Structures are given as structure tokens and as C-alpha cells.
Amino acid sequence: MLKRLSSSSSCLQARVHSLGPNLGLHPGPTELASPFLRVLGSLTGLARPNSSRRAFFCSDASDGSDQVVEVEVKKAGTDGDAESKSSSAIVPTNPRPEDYLTVLALPLPHRPLFPGFYMPIYVKDPKLLAALQESRKRQAPYAGAFLLKDEPGTDPSVVSGSETDKSISDLKGKELFNRLHEVGTLAQISSIQGDQVVLIGHRRLRITEMVDEDPLTVKVDHLKDKPYNKDDDVIKATSFEVISTLRDVLKTSSLWRDHVQTYTQHIGDFNFPRLADFGAAISGANKLQCQQVLEELDVYKRLKLTLELVKKEIEISKIQESIAKAIEEKISGEQRRYLLNEQLKAIKKELGLEADDKTTLSAKFRERLEPNREKCPPHVLQVIEEELTKLQLLEASSSEFNVTRNYLDWLTSIPWGNYSDENFDVLRAQKILDEDHYGLSDVKERILEFIAVGKLRGISQGKIICLSGPPGVGKTSIGRSIARALNRKFYRFSVGGLSDVAEIKGHRRTYIGAMPGKMVQCLKNVGTANPLVLIDEIDKLGRGHAGDPASALLELLDPEQNANFLDHYLDVPIDLSKVLFVCTANVVEMIPNPLLDRMEVISIAGYITDEKIHIARDYLEKTTREACGIKPEQVEVTDAALLALIENYCREAGVRNLQKHIEKIYRKIALQLVRQGVSDEPEVAGQIESPISRIDGPNESAVVEAQVAETDEAKVEDVDKLDQSVVASESQTASESLATDLPVEPAVGEIQVADTDEPMDSKDAKKTDKIQESEAIKTVDKVLVDELNVADFVGKPVFHAERLYDQTPVGVVMGLAWTAMGGSTLYIETTQVEEGEGKGSLNVTGQLGDVMKESTQIAHTVARAILLDKEPDNPFFANSKLHLHVPAGATPKDGPSAGCTMITSMLSLAMKKPVKKDLAMTGEVTLTGRILPIGGVKEKTIAARRGEVKTIIFPAANRKDFDELAPNVKEGLDVHFVDDYNQIFDLAFSDDQSKEK
């Protein structure tokens, strides 16, 4: 430390003058005389000029008296305090620091304050701040700075952010006193600006007792270092090691360099205690380690603790240096690679070895366009040439360049005028359609007509065909078969739920991520201008904020407009007149009328039972068997089993559910075959190797015994139901014996047990085993699936007989209905609730729609008129409260075609006469009793066959629709066509029924 300062003003002025004109505090000649200062001065070099410095000097005179001088050097106007307005000030403090035995206690939250250092803190407690200001005004600018202990149960090394300045300011009195460390620092209050207090540490203190709680005032003892020998070699060596470590740290850390420069300018003389405090104060150690250094009064131990801390800093500096070096190498490597690539491009371009991007792109587009240039329309060629010229003028980095490049990419990818060669062979097309689909004569006839017209004209014109029908009837697969028959490319896209017009017409090119519509994408993918495009689920079009796609499809599907279809992205007309559009829909009524007007609707009503059996046998079973890896000779599914499957599980109009059930059966059969060890045993030299013959090794007999035990357990417990399925053999005797569903595994198990009795190590015995095994396995030829065990594979039947009554009761009549899943039978029931004079009324239930509710009122009126005509003396309708119900009540029902059925039900109740049990009818009725035509003739006819109906009543206007049905659909039905309800009355209630058809 500096020697005692003289009270003479000249000495003080010289001392201040030595701070330098640039506000840097350079040590004077007296200060450099210290050997420690010279060492650190050689480490740090000249001090950097700072805009504001605060210097303080603490001298320890030999006589024990202390004097503290504070020097502040700041820019003019930086301190609002009236006492610090001058650019340089010397404030003598009197009395001396050791005279203060009672001080205000200031909590330090983060690090302790070391003697010789300054620290700014924020005081939030107004009482404590007022006390500090009062002490400074009374020329007693001292307080005690003590480190705050961590909360109990917390890890000081983990930063949680929970202990903020606000929480520290909440500590008061005894609670704050208990949280303070005993050893702290006597701190001079240098300045107070708002709630910021700048402290300068002087000497160590120890708290003895609490004097006052608010603000916290404590009694302290002033601590002095223990005596030590300045010439002790160990202390010198430790101090020089500290200095040497500091030198290494200063080479890598600029932050430490600034600390050392500031400290060497502020402190005139270094000694061993100061060196230890200096190293600990500027290190990055945690607060508890720094507090340990502060509490240590033994100079040698303090130096050792400081040496540990600075050694840690050197390790941290090495890690920091390695991280920085790795990042710098990575960045510099990438920059070097980028520069070399740019130089390589420039060299190649200068030598003509590589053209620029724009030239390459233009050449690629022209090369792609060249094959179709003669077929390309002139207006399209003109647009392409204009865009190619624009591409050469644009900068490659501009956004317009990318838009033009993408536009040219689409323009040149479309097959302008490129048509595929069509095949107009009608016989070949007939063969392909019959291979892929059974039945569907209407659809096949329409496709053959299209091919015949194309053959006569020499060219084929695009058409729009709409296939409507229930799910699973093969609408989508028909489109693929048509494309194969015509030798056209096939493209499918679904518009179900589509609500954006841009999917059909494309986006404008100005939008980010703009793309053409589906038709332009189709032409690019298929590569021809006359593909077959299947638009799936056209009845499920959505409508959202982005427009109405159904209206956008009008131009696409209009034969008069699609020759000049305009996509928003391409903005040039495209000829789609040669495209064959095939649309699919479940319900035609859901398609908007303007869109439906452009289509030719072909209805696919579904399949009758005979057709389903043929489809299952010729298509579904074959495909499923190959998918499951089962050979035809391993499984036999009888026609009776398929019939039971169709009648009791898969009554839908389509065959998708039937395919699922057949797949379920074959999966279970595959599992059974694998468990029996039949399907996966390899054939070697014409023999099938048995599982036992593959066992070898020292534990051979144990494995054999385990297999025998498993087989015996299976025989006793019969865990798996599938193991009891019927297994048929080639011989008639075996098939008869297996018809009782005997399991197969016991026979195999008996042979395995017999095999275990033979010596396994004998060659002759092994050959005998193989022969016996092969003979036993040959008896397991087929798994038989018939109507008796089909429930073991697919579970309990889902459907039951649609006929609820063997003999139709009074008031109950069977009607025929159309649904989206096909046709179905529908019972209409009427009963009398109450009878009384003038109580005639009607109540209806069964979740009926508005149209059907109106039909009940019409039927009630017509039934009263007919009863009055047939039985004038019967007052049933005038005096009876009726209840009409249409099961099932959970299914919504609507439509006018049940009118005649409702009249018949009411008249049956009124006359107490049941109708024929095998009779079903359908037809809309008017108030005058006329019968109007209905829809879904094929579906209702199929439903009648399924409901075991013998006699059907149809409106006379539907005679032509019925005559167009396939013969197998009409076979065995007694159909009557009527145009007035009186004819129905005679057929329903008269024993002598006419046979007019």
C-alpha cells in the first residue's frame, strides 16, 4: 500500500496529477518501486483509457493509524450528487475506520466484498437507504457488507432465479441477522444515486451481536491478518505461483486483463494478503468459495485457496479457447469452401467449360419441347418463346426468375397434341371387362358402344360417364378396367370434401407456392392428352370460403367447353375434348343439377346372391388365397358356406364386406395350417421332412418329449376352436369320417408318439420315421369350410331372415324400400289404440321424413274412401284412433313410394283380413287412388328375392324398367303392374288373384 499521505496539498495534487490526463490511473514512480506491482505491471501493459474511474487508497502506517483517501475521476455531469460534481475530488475521512464498532448491516446476495475492491449494490429498503444517506452526511460513510446465506435445503451451485432482490428486501430484523455470514467487510459508502449504493471494501469484520432490527445494526470486531514472515520461502513460492498462473490466464482472457489493469492503477503497493484477495475477487468461483477466502486470516492458507481458484480459471480458459477455436475452424472452413466454389464457377465460365444457369435452363426447356413442337398449338409456342426471352433478362437471384422458371417447367411438361394409340377391338374389350368384373351388363354395353363409335369414326371423342351405386359395387375398379380395355392411361383423383376451386382451376402465378389444377397435373403425370380420368366421390363435393368446386367442374366436364379449358396457372387454353371422364357417386341426388346435366348416368344397383357367389368364387377367393400364401389344394370353401356368408353376414349391395369376411376366413385357415405344421414344411428329394426329423443335438430326446407333451395337452384341453375345423382327405372314407368335425392333431400326435419309441440314432429308424411322417401328413389335404362351421371363422351371424312373420298378422304389410346400400324390405304396421264415437285420428312413428309423413295422411284419406266403397256400413276409421309404425325406429326413412303399402295396412286392420304372407308392394299413391312410378326397381327386386317374396306389386309405369333387368334377377317372381289402388285391393285381399304381368 501507499505510505501515509502527507497532509500537504502539494503532495496530494501531485498524487492526483499522476492519474494522467486521459482519465486512466497510471502508477507513479513510487508505486512502480514495488516488486509485485512491477510483475503485474509487466503482465498487463499500459492501461486502457476509461471514461470513468474510481480510485481509492488505503494505507496501513507502521504506527497503526489508518487514513483513507478516495479519488473520483469522471466525465463532467455524470454524477448528480453535489459532492461529486467536480472532475476530481479528495475526501479525507475522519474519524478512522477502526473507530466504527457499530455499523449498518448490508446483505450481499451474490458475492462477498473484498478489501480493496468496490461493488455497486441496490438497496430497496427505504429505511436502510435513508440511514445510509444520513451516515454519509454526518461524515460517517461506513457500513458492514455481509454475504447472505442460501436458503436451507438449496444448492448454491444451481441457479433457480427464485431469490431476487425483492425477496432479499423482505428479510428484516432477526430473520436477516440469522441469514448473514459472520465475517464480512467494512465498506465505505462512496456514492448514493437513487437506490444504487457504491461500496469500497476496507477491512474484515466479524459480527458479534445485533443492536437494532430496522434497519439492521450490528456490533462488529475488526479482524487483522495473522502475523506471517515476509521472507518465508513457501509463502513467496505460493505467491509467485499465483502470479504465474495469473500471467497464463491473462494471455487468453481479456476480461481478467481489464481487472488487473484497474486494480494495479488503484492500488499502489501489493503484498501477500492483497494478492490473495485480488485473485479470489476477480475469479469466477462461487460465493461460498470466495467467502472461505474472506474468512481465512492465515495468509499462507489464503494464498493456497486463491491458487486453487486461479488454477480452475486457467482450466476454464483452456476450455473456452478450445471451443472458440473449434467454432472458428468450422466457420472458416465453410467460408473457404464457398469462396473456392465461387472461384471455380467463375473460372469455368471464363473458359467456356460451363454455361450459366439461365443458358442451361433455356436449353433444357427447348429440348423438352422439341418432340412436340409441331403438335403444340401456335398460341402456346408464342407464350413459351416470350417466357424464354424473359428468363434470359432476369437475374437468377430475383423472385420473378423462379416464377418464370416454374411456369416454363409446367408449360413444357404438358404433352401438347401427344395422344396414345387406342385399341378399338370390341371383342378384346369384352374379354377384358369380363375378366375383371362379373355381371354389370349395362356398364359393359355402354363401354362397348363407345368403342364401336370410335372404330367407325376413326377417332374417339371424350365423354363424361357417371357410375352411381352403393359402396363396394366396383365403381372405381370399373374405371381402371375401362382404361385397360381402351389402352388409355389411367389417372384417378378424389374430390370428396374438396372445397378449394384452385384444386380444379389452379392458382394464380402471383401467389407463393402456386400450382396448376388437377387436370394439368394429370396430363403431366400420364404423358398423353387422351387419358381416362376417374373423378371419385363427385357427390361429396364441399363448398368453402375458397369458392364452389362444383361450379368449377362445369367447364371441365362440359363437352362443349373443355376443348378450351383454361387453367389459372398456365393461363393458356388446353384441349381436354379427347379425355374420357368417368365419375363415381353413391347418391346421384347429391350432385348439383347443372353438373349432373353434363354427365351420362349409369346406375349400378348392386349384386344379387348368385352374382355375389360367382364374384366370390372367381375373383375374391382367388385373390385372397394368393395373398395369404395358401395353395388351392389345401382349402375348400363350399358353395353352401359362401351362401351362408352372403345371406347371414354380407347382405350389402356391394362385395367389399364380403371380401373382408373371406380374408378373415383365410387368415384363420393360414394360422391353423401353420400350427399343424403343414403349409411351411419344405420338400426334400420328393419327401416332406417332418418336424421331428429336423431335431438334432444332445437334447434331441428332450425336445421330442416336449412336442409329445404339447400334442397330448392339445388333445385334452382343446384350447383353439379352429383346431376343431373340418379337414377333408382325398379318399371318400376319410371325408365321411371327418364330416363330424373331428380334430386332426390327435392322429398326428399319435404318430409322433410312435416315432419317439424308435431309436433316434439309427439310420434305418430315421428313414422309417420319415416315411411314417410323410404318410401321416399326406392325409391332411384340405381344410373344409361349410355352412356348419363358418361361424367358427367369422363369428355369429349379423343378419337374420328379413321375414319377421311366417304368417303376416292383420294390419301388417311388407313394403320395398331403396337405400344407399341397396334395396331392403320394410314392414308397415298399423294397430288400433282406442275406439269411440268420433275419435278417428292417426299417429305415426318410426323416424319418418316430411314426405313420408304426408304419405301417411294421404294413405289415411284414401283408405277411408276405399273402405266406404267396399264396406259402407263399417265405421272403423271414423271411430278409431290408429297408430302406424315403420320399423326399425332408429333408421331415418323418407320418400313417397310407401303410399300403397300404408293404405293396404290400414285396410287390413279395418277389415280384419291379413294380406298374403309372400306379398310385397311399392308405389306412390294419389288422393284419387292412382299409382305413380317409383325408382330403384332393380334394388327393390333384389330386396324382394332376399326377403323370400313370391309376389311383387309394381306401378304400371315401371314395367319397362323391370323388363330391362337381367333374367337371373327376375327369375321365380310373380310380378303385377297396377295403375290404380283398386287393383292392389283385389290382389292383396282376394283369394282369386289375376296373373297379369
pLDDT digit string (tens) for 270-280? 677 777 777 77
Determine the residue type at 33: A
Dist. CA 687–CA 367, nearest whole Å = 62
d(CA 555, CA 561) in angstroms, rounded, equals 6
Phi-psi region of 828 (alpha: psi -120 to 50; beta: other; left: phi over 0): beta
Q: Does the pLDDT of residue 704 top 80, yes or no? A: no
- Helices 475-486 & 426-436, crossing angle to 10 degrees? 150
Give DSSP secondary structure letters for 2-61: PPPPPS-HHHHHHHHHTT-TTS-----HHHHTSHHHHHHHHHH-SPPP-S-EEEEEEEE-
Average pLDDT over residues 110-119: 81
The x, y and z cell numbers of residue 663, run together, are 380374408
Is 471 annotated for ligand binding? yes
Instruction: Tell me the pLDDT tens digit for each residue of 824-873.
Output: 888 899 999 988 887 888 999 988 889 999 999 999 999 999 988 888 88
CATH of domain 97-151+170-222: 2.30.130.40
Closest CA to 499 of 557, 546, 556: 546
Assess contact for 643 and 787: CB atoms under 8 A: yes
Are 97-151+170-222 and 812-989 equal in CATH topology? no
pLDDT tens, position by position, 307-317: 888 888 778 87
Amino acid symbol at 203: R
CATH 3.40.50.300 given to domain 812-989: no
Q: Which of 20-34, 211-225, 304-318, 616-630 has the highest mean pLDDT?
A: 616-630
649 CB neighbour count, 10 Å cutoff:
21
Q: Is 475 a known ligand-binding residue? A: yes
Helices and strands, number each (H, E), in the chain: 37, 30
Q: Cα–Cα–Cα angle for 67, 69, 70, nearest 5°?
A: 150
Active-site residue (options: 505, 578, 938, 940): 940
Q: Which residues touch 152 (CB under 8 Å, ≥6 apart)?
A: none
pLDDT attached to residue 857: 93
* Residues 543-587 pLDDT 10s: 777 778 888 888 888 888 888 888 899 889 998 888 889 999 988
**Peptide bond before residue 514 is cis, with ω within 30 degrees of 0:** no
Q: Is 1.10.8.60 the CATH classification of the domain at 609-674?
A: yes
Q: How sure is the predictor about 80, in pLDDT bands with cuts at 50, 70 and 90? A: very low
What grid cell was written down for 749? 400326435
Nearest residue to 473 via CA among 884, 823, 103, 9: 823
CA atoms within 13 A on the CB side of 625: 16
What are 561's three cell numbers?
367447353
Q: Is the dihedral of CA 627, 631, 632, 635 positive or negative?
A: negative
How far is the CA of 71 from the CAs of 52, 54, 84, 553, 638, in angstroms? 11, 6, 10, 89, 112
C-alpha to C-alpha distance for 445 and 434, rounded to whole angstroms: 11
**pLDDT above 80: residue 727:** no
Task: Specify the DSSP class assigned to residue 268.
Answer: S
Return d(Cα 68, Cα 142) in angstroms, integer.
12
The pLDDT, as a whole number, for residue 681 is 53
Residue type, 637: V
Of 120-124, 795-799, 954-958, 987-991, which range is least confident?
A: 987-991
Cα Rg for the chain, rounded, in angstroms?
Answer: 52
HEC assignment per residue over 821-874? CEEEEEEEEEEEEEECCCCCEEEEECCECHHHHHHHHHHHHHHHHHHHHHCCCC
Is the model's pLDDT at 266 over the cut of 60?
A: no
pLDDT digits (tens, 9 = 90+) for 782-793: 788 988 888 899
C-beta of residue 535 within 8 angstroms of C-beta of residue 498: no
Of the listed ranges 1-10, 271-280, 915-924, the one predicted with least confidence: 1-10
Query: Phi, psi (5° rounding) for residue 803?
Result: -80, 115
- Compute the distance between CA of residue 726 and CA of residue 625 in angstroms, rounded to an integer: 18
Which of 298-307, 351-360, 676-685 shows the lowest per-residue confidence on average (mean pLDDT)?
676-685
Over residues 34-66, the pLDDT tens digits come to: 444 444 444 444 333 333 333 333 434 333 334
Can you give the pLDDT at residue 830?
Answer: 93
Say which residue, 606 or 595, is predicted with more confidence: 595
> Which whole-number Å values give the CA distances from 519 to 124, 266, 499, 504, in the listed order?
73, 83, 16, 7
Distance separating alpha carbons of residues 292 and 305, to the nearest angstrom? 8
Contact in structure between 529 and 575 (CB atoms under 8 Å): yes
User: Looking at the predicted structure, is the pLDDT value of residue 719 above 60?
Assistant: no
In this predicted structure, the answer to whether residue 731 has a pLDDT above a threshold of 70 is no
- pLDDT at residue 88 is higher than 50: no
Which of 191, 880, 897, 905 is an active site residue? Answer: 897
Query: What pLDDT is recorded for position 943?
Result: 83
Given a cut of 60, whether residue 82 has pLDDT beyond it is: no
Residues 361 and 923: their CA atoms lie apart, in Å, by 69
Question: What is the crossing angle of helices 299-351 and 233-252, to 10°?
Answer: 20
Per-residue pLDDT at 828:
92
Q: What is the pLDDT of residues 339-349, one digit of tens each?
A: 888 888 788 77
pLDDT at 166: 46
Q: What is the pLDDT of residue 9?
A: 36
3-state percent helix, strand, coil for the chain, nearest multiple of 5:
45, 20, 35
What value does the mean pLDDT take over residues 515-527? Answer: 91
Residue 472 annotated in ligand binding: yes
Task: Look at 72 and 510; give whichever has higher pLDDT.
Answer: 510
Nearest-5° Cα angle at 264, 259 to 269: 140
List all residues 6 or more positions away from 392 whose beta carbon is below 8 Å from its beta carbon: 358, 362
Give the residue-averaged pLDDT of 727-749.
36
697 band by pLDDT with thresholds 50, 70 and 90: very low
Q: Hey, what amino acid is at 508?
A: R
Name the nearest CA neighbour of 582 among 430, 503, 453, 468: 468
User: What dihedral do alpha carbons 214, 216, 217, 221 form, nearest 10°?
Assistant: 170
Among the listed ranges 299-303, 511-515, 842-846, 893-897, which one has the minimum average pLDDT value?
299-303
693 is catalytic: no
Asked if pLDDT for residue 366 goes beyond 90, the answer is no
Please, what is the average pLDDT of the chain? Answer: 74
* Residue 108: predicted pLDDT: 85
Check residue 818 and give its pLDDT. 81
Whether residue 377 is annotated as binding a ligand: the answer is no
* pLDDT value at residue 624: 92
pLDDT at 695 over 80: no
Task: Report the run of H or E that residue 318 belongs to, with start and end.
Answer: helix 299-351
Of 280-284, 416-420, 514-518, the range with the lowest mean pLDDT is 280-284
Q: Is the pLDDT of residue 187 over 50?
A: yes
Does the annotation count 390 as an active-site position? no
pLDDT of 706 above 80: no
| The residue count for the chain | 997
Phi/psi-derived region of residue 972, left when phi > 0, alpha when psi is between -120 and 50, beta in every other case: left
Would you kindly state where each structural domain of the chain is located, as residue ranges? 97-151+170-222, 357-413, 426-603, 609-674, 812-989
What is the pTM for the complete model shown?
0.52
Residue 469 annotated as lining a ligand binding site: yes
In angstroms, rounded to a whole number, what is the distance separating the alpha carbons of residues 641 and 635? 13
Q: Is 812 strand, coil or helix?
A: strand
Other C-beta atoms closer than 10 Å to the C-beta of 617 total 14
Nearest-angstrom CA–CA distance, 283 and 275: 12
Q: What residue type is 446 in one-letter code?
A: R
Q: Which residues pair with 980 in a beta bridge?
A: 930
Q: How far is CA 383 from CA 28, 377, 389, in A?
A: 85, 10, 10
pLDDT band at 267 (very low <50, low <70, confident <90, very high): low
920 contacts 893 by C-beta, under 8 angstroms: no
SS3 at position 450: helix
Between 900 and 890, name the one with better pLDDT.
Answer: 900
Q: Which CATH architecture has domain 426-603?
A: 3-Layer(aba) Sandwich (3.40)
**Residue position matching grid coordinates 314392414:** 827
Query: Could you give the residue ranges of the DSSP H alpha helices within 699-833?
Result: 700-717, 732-738, 745-756, 763-778, 790-794
Q: Where are the beta strands (DSSP E) in 549-680?
A: 565-566, 573-574, 580-585, 600-603, 635-637
Q: Is the pLDDT of residue 140 over 80?
A: no
Distance CA 892, CA 859 (A): 20
3-state secondary structure of 791: helix
Split at pLDDT 50, 70, 90, the class of 801 is low
Share of the chain above pLDDT 90, in %: 11
How far, in Å, CA of 761 to CA of 856, rounded?
Answer: 87
Cis peptide bond upstream of 592, omega within 30? no
Q: Which helix (H) or strand (E) holds 482?
A: helix 475-486
Per the structure block, which three cell numbers stand in for 775? 404318410
Nearest partner of 517 among 554, 569, 555, judged by Cα: 569
- For residue 29, the one-letter residue type is P
Largest CA distance in the chain: 150
- Picking from 571, 772, 620, 774, the residue whose alpha carbon sits closest to that of residue 688 is 774
Question: Average pLDDT for residues 284-303, to the nearest whole number?
Answer: 78
- Tally of CB atoms within 10 A around 946: 21
